[in-house]
Structure 1
């Protein structure tokens, strides 16, 4: 059951006025607006700096991490909880084993949480495109270290044909590489939360990094302390998350 405290997940349409015959034209006078629906992040300070006051839908959004486990999933927790109330959420090749109990305490509907663990980058990219084509997912998160520009373009084009929120989580060093993603955020750890820098917005960016206060990070268990993870089906078939011995971060 979804927690009552999570956002409703209502999708907001842009307010800008565009000539009816030119729906895809981006006007310079609307630097802070896009042509895509968005959903609030659940963090007011971040919403105020993003186009349409939230995460854009139907595009590739990049989260560039100084290192995995610095609160990137806690940053996405409000929107994932809202979306999982009515749609499936896919985690593709995450660096840690998803923890069903942690997801439940965050308000996620575990029955709609799908974990896909491909063996290599090519399979992960292929799986993500297939999940997008499926049309049954509200959100897809893909973790990758090395992605070529042509693969980024394919992901972005595939996302544009859907009504899905797509996040690519990759190393902070990737910020110097070109990307078709209209929104790229750099995340760095901070005491009590995370610092978010808007690397590439569609419009003016904040002068200073945005501090997002997050819940206290749980202690990570050493691999020798963990229970054995359940066996999972090989891609391309996604598998639902069951009890596991890691944490969502």
Structure 2
């Protein structure tokens, strides 16, 4: 680095960030669909090419609804593939469709155990994949680190759901969120981000696709729109 650079010029570099400010990212984030959350995220949205770790207090509180606006944007506007790996419950196709997802762009893989991480890595390396969403309750830190490196080599969003108890563990994820339910809202706490700490909780009013059915934890009706990753007939 040339010695003639002033401190202000150094701090103005996009690869330098101060601990009391949000980091500047080379890639603009994908808007979350929630303005109050976008304001707190480096890049103004979900980070492309990075691991986002989401820790709900328990399953079924609407955690997937937090991702639906961004996933809908990717599938409909960018015509990107969405890959869902190792969901603990079947996905509810009508709820996803009502949220704006193009189900013809959705791939579902029910990969057990260690195979789930392998599928995620392959998906991150594939062309045209906009987001990978996976549930890895027992994943090791070394595997998370490998997934983070794979995500950095792509422009793909990577979301990993883990139990709330994992919040006390170290993680290579540059973005970590803890979620709690509060009626029709989710309370979001930013446990980790690239930038200054954010101690206050964010109440997020989520759009529940169906009043009686959630996008997660409901049976999938017979529909050809949501296909398995193992099915070759992909439009």
| TM-score bin (small chain) | 0.7 to 0.9
Alignment RMSD: 2.7
The answer to whether 1:189 aligns with 2:181 is yes
**Residue in 2 aligned with 1:246?**
none
1:135/1:162 contact within 8 Å kept: no
Structure 1: gaps of 5 or more residues: 1-15, 242-249
Partner of residue 21, structure 2: 31
Q: How many residues align?
A: 216
Q: TM-score, normalised by structure 1?
A: 0.78
What's the secondary structure of 1:56's corresponding residue? coil
User: What is the CA–CA distance in structure 1 between the aligned matches of 2:125 and 2:92, rounded to whole Å?
Assistant: 27
How big is each residue's C-alpha offset from its partner over 1:144-187, in whole Å with a ceiling of 9 and x where there is no partner? 11111100000000001111000001111111111111100001
Q: Which structure 2 residues correspond to residues 111-190 of structure 1 after superposition, within 5 A?
A: 111-118=104-111, 120-190=112-182
Change (3 A) 1:233 1:87: closer
The structure-2 alpha-carbon separation of the partners of 1:238 and 1:129, relative to structure 1 and needing over 3 Å to count, comes to farther
1:135 and 1:215 map into 2 onto residues whose CA distance is 30
Summarize the alignment of residues 1-249 of structure 1 with structure 2, pairs less than 5 Å apart. Answer: 17-18=12-13, 25-28=15-18, 31-37=21-27, 38-85=29-76, 86-118=79-111, 120-216=112-208, 218-220=211-213, 237=230
In the alignment, which residue of structure 2 is the partner of 1:3? none
* TM-score scaled by length of structure 2: 0.82
Runs of 4+ in 1 over 6 A off after TM superposition: 227-235, 238-241
